[in-house]
A and B are shown apart, each in its own frame.
Chain A
Amino acid sequence: MTTTATRPAARSTDRPRGGRSRWAATVRALPWLGPTLLLMAGVVFFPAGYMAWTSFRDLSQFGVDNGPAGLDNYARLLEFTALPRVLLNTVVWVVGVVVVTVLLSLGLAQFLDKAFPGRRFVRLTIIVPWAASVVMTTTVVYYGLDPFYGIINAFLVDVGLLDQPYGFTRNAVPAFFTAMGIAVFVSLPFTTYTLLAGLQTIPDDVREAAQMDGAGPWATYRRIILPLLRPALAVATIINIINVFNSLPILQVITGSIPGYNADTTTTLIFKFIRADRQIDTASALSIVNFLIVLAVILVYLKVVKPMRED
C-alpha cells in the first residue's frame, strides 16, 4: 500500500483541492468505476469472505450449516495423514516447474531474439500451447504415454530410448513428474514471450559497448543482459508461481485415477475434498490457507516489481 501513498498525482490538471471537493471528485468517478467495483466485490471479494466464514462453520455433506465449528476444520486438516506428503508435493511442484520453466525460457528467448530465417514462424508455433486449453494438451499427452496404445511411448521404444513401453501415468511418482513436465511445457510460451519483451528493451549499443570492452558472449550475458533483464524475469517468475500453484487440470488428468494422495498438491486436494468427499467446510479451510499463500506472493510481486509505477 505504500506505493499508493507515495504516488502524488502531480501532473494532472484537474487535481482536486481542499476537503469537500476532494470527495466530490471521488463521487464523480463512481459511475465510471462502479460496475467494475460491483463485479469484483460480488464475485471475488465476497466469495473470499464467505469462504473464510465457511471455514469456521460445520457443514453437512449436503451443505446444511450445523452451526459454528471453531477451528475444527483447520484441526481436521492438520490431522489429515497425507498432509505432509501433499505439502512436500506442492513445494516440489511449484519450485521444480517454475525453475525449469524460467531456465528453458531464458535460452529460448535469447535464441528467438536473434534474426534467422523462419523466426516469425517459430514464434507463432510457441503461441499454440498458450492459447490451447490445458485440459486438451494434457489429455493428448496422457493418451500418448499409455503403456499399451500410447504413441509417445511407442516412439520412445522405436528410437531406442526405452526397451519397452513405460507406465508413466500408472504410479504416483512417475505420474507426478510427468505432470511437472507438461506444466513446464504449457508455461514456456508466456515466460518466453515476457523475457523476449524484456530483451527487446535492451538497446543494441549496450551489447556493442560490452563487446568493444572485450567482454566475451557469456560475460556480456551474465554481467550486462541478465541484470537488465531482471524486471522481466521477476514478473515472469512471480506470475508463474501463482499460475503453477493454482494449476488443477494437469494433475487432475494425469494422476486423477491414481488412488491415494501421493500425487496431490494443496490445490488438487481442495477439489478432491469438494467433489469426492463433499467436505465443503474442510475444503474452505484449505482454500483459505491457499488464498493466504497467494496473497503473500502478490505482496512480494508488488514489492519487487512495483507494477504501479507510472511513467
Chain B
Amino acid sequence: MAAAVRTRGARGSRGARRPLMAVAGALIALVFVLPYLIMLIGSFKSRSGILRVPPTYLPDEWLPSNYVDMWSTPETPLPYNLVSTIVISVCATLLVLVVAAPAAYYTARHRFPGRLVFLLLVLVTQMLQPTVLATGLFRQFVTLGINDTWLAMILVNSAFNLSFAVWIMHSFFAAIPRELDEAAALDGASRLQILRRVTLPLVWPGVVTAIIFTFVACWNEFAASLVILTTAENQPLSVALTKFVGQYESAWQYVFGVSIVGIVPVVVLFALIEKRLVAGLTAGAVK
C-alpha cells in the first residue's frame, strides 16, 4: 500500500535527456487523450458537418446547442437515461458501502474459523464479471419478475463491485494498530468516539477509493444492462448511446455530446484517487 514516493534527482548525463523525455511524454499524453479530443470537437459539429465527405478537422460552425438538443431526440429518451445511470450508480454504491464496510472491519480486526474461506470467496467474486454470468442473471430476474428494473441492475452492480470494496477497506482497517483503539479507550473515549475520531479518519482514504471505484464501474457498466434493461427509459447512458448509431444515419454529434457528459465526471473522480488506483484491484499482491 505505502507506495514510497521516490524522488530521483537528475544525476549526471540523465539531466541532459530530460527535455527530450518531456517531449516524448507530451506525445504519449496526446495519444491517450486523442480519441476524447475527437469526441469533444465532434460534439460541436452540425449534423451535415459531421457526415461531410471528405471530413473537416474542425467544425465550420461551432454548435454548443448540440448539448441542449441531444436531450430531446427521437433516438432515445436521454434525460431518463441520465437519471437511470445516476440512480443505479448511486444506489449500488451506497449498498456496497453499507454491506462491505462491516465485513471489511470485522475480517481485519478479528480472527475466526472460516475467515480465510470468506476472504477467498470475496477474491474469487472479484475476478468474476457480470458478462460471464449475464445469461444466468437474465434468467433469474425473469423468474423473479424483476427483469428490466432498476432494482435488478442495482443488485448486479453492487454484487460485482462488493469484493473490491471489501478488499480495499479491509487493507485500510488492517493497517490501523489495535493499540491505537486501546489507548483511546484508556483515555476514556467511548466506542463511538473511537470510531469517529480515531478509526474513521484513518480509513477514510480507503472508503473514498472504494466509493469512487464502485461508482465509476457502475456508471460505465454495459454488458448486463444490455441484456437486463429492455425498456428505453430504464437504460443507462452506456446503452442509450448505441441508439444514436444507426445502420444508415448516425447522429454522431449527439453520440459525442453524451460521451463527454458521461466521461468528464468519472475522469475527474479517478484523477482524485490516482495514487490509490492500483491498490485494491491487485488485492495486496503488489506491495
Contacts and interface: CB of A to CB of B under 8 A. Distances in A.
Interface in B112-169: 112-125, 127-129, 131-140, 142-143, 155-156, 158-160, 162-163, 166
Contacts of B163: 40
B277 A154 contact: no
B274 A123 contact: yes
Contacts of B252: 143
A128 B129 CA distance: 22
Given A44-B160, A135-B241, A140-B39, A284 B136 contact: yes
Contacts of B256: 140
A9 interface: yes
B266 A274 contact: no
Given A32-B106, A44-B159, A51-B136, A125 B121 contact: no
Contacts, number: 351
B68 interface: no
Contacts of A133: 219-220, 222, 237-238, 241, 259, 262-263, 266
Interface of A: 1, 3-4, 7, 9, 12-16, 22-23, 25-26, 28-29, 31-33, 35-37, 39-40, 42-44, 46-52, 54, 63, 108, 111, 114-119, 121-137, 139-144, 148-152, 154-155, 185, 188-190, 193-194, 196-198, 200-201, 204, 231-232, 234-235, 239, 242-243, 246-249, 253, 257, 267, 270-271, 274-275, 280, 283-284, 287, 290-291, 294-295, 297-298, 301-302, 305-310
Interface of B: 3-10, 14, 18-19, 21-22, 24-26, 28-29, 32-33, 35-36, 38-39, 42, 50-55, 57, 95, 98-100, 102-103, 105-107, 110-125, 127-129, 131-140, 142-143, 155-156, 158-160, 162-163, 166, 178, 216, 219-220, 222-223, 226-227, 237-239, 241-242, 245, 247, 250, 252, 255-256, 258-259, 262-263, 266-267, 269-271, 274, 277-279, 281-287
Given A3-B116, A44-B133, 16 more contacts: A1-B120, A4-B120, A14-B110, A32-B105, A51-B139, A118-B25, A121-B29, A122-B25, A132-B36, A132-B259, A133-B259, A135-B242, A154-B54, A200-B6, A235-B285, A275-B226
